[in-house]
Structure 1
């Protein structure tokens, strides 16, 4: 389903999902209706899952980004997994292998907010926090 042409279309969409089929067609060398048809087929096949807006964390008042890992206490992993879905600070959360069970990417307004968030997290397990200084690779396109 994902041939070289679809791969190029996917790259265009991942770089800017709002660009028109005409703009994508000019980049990949086929007609606009052909681009639209290929996109629809990839949506139907579950290759393209959706579209989203990228938002500035700073413009919304979040001054800190952190990566927090958790080693859950006995019996606390399932409650954590249920509750974390409702925490507005959590941008991404993964259940992982290794000594820690969870890794989260969180955004926070300031150091006080970080302290309050960690206070909430430590009831579920031992946590480690790293403050993100800069974003080195951001949403690199996924290609076949």
Structure 2
């Protein structure tokens, strides 16, 4: 019960932050990504504002074995830069640039995004289901010869 309450509060705070910051406005996000055109630098403050609390949270988490609610903490992310990270980053960036949405804002846009937001969410979920299957196939495929 307590965990669900904190998850709901955190989700509501996150969604409110997305709404206030403009991250759910696809034209604002695409303006941020259009560095050689009509660049809108305002989302730099949003992104910078996200990095600072996360850096502090990771610092605190490295000194703890359990969360405040008593749950096990996830292990720190890998520091390796590999094919999966690069491919995932490229695909994420392409989707973000084309649609102006990423997973958090896509969920938030369900309330007002109409069919476009719903279509993006369905495509995103399909990609999440397909990714492990494609990953397994790529890992089993022989290396290309040059």
- Global fold match (TM > 0.5): no
Q: TM-score, normalised by structure 2?
A: 0.24
Q: Which has the higher helix share?
A: 2
**TM-score computed with the length of structure 1 as normaliser:** 0.24
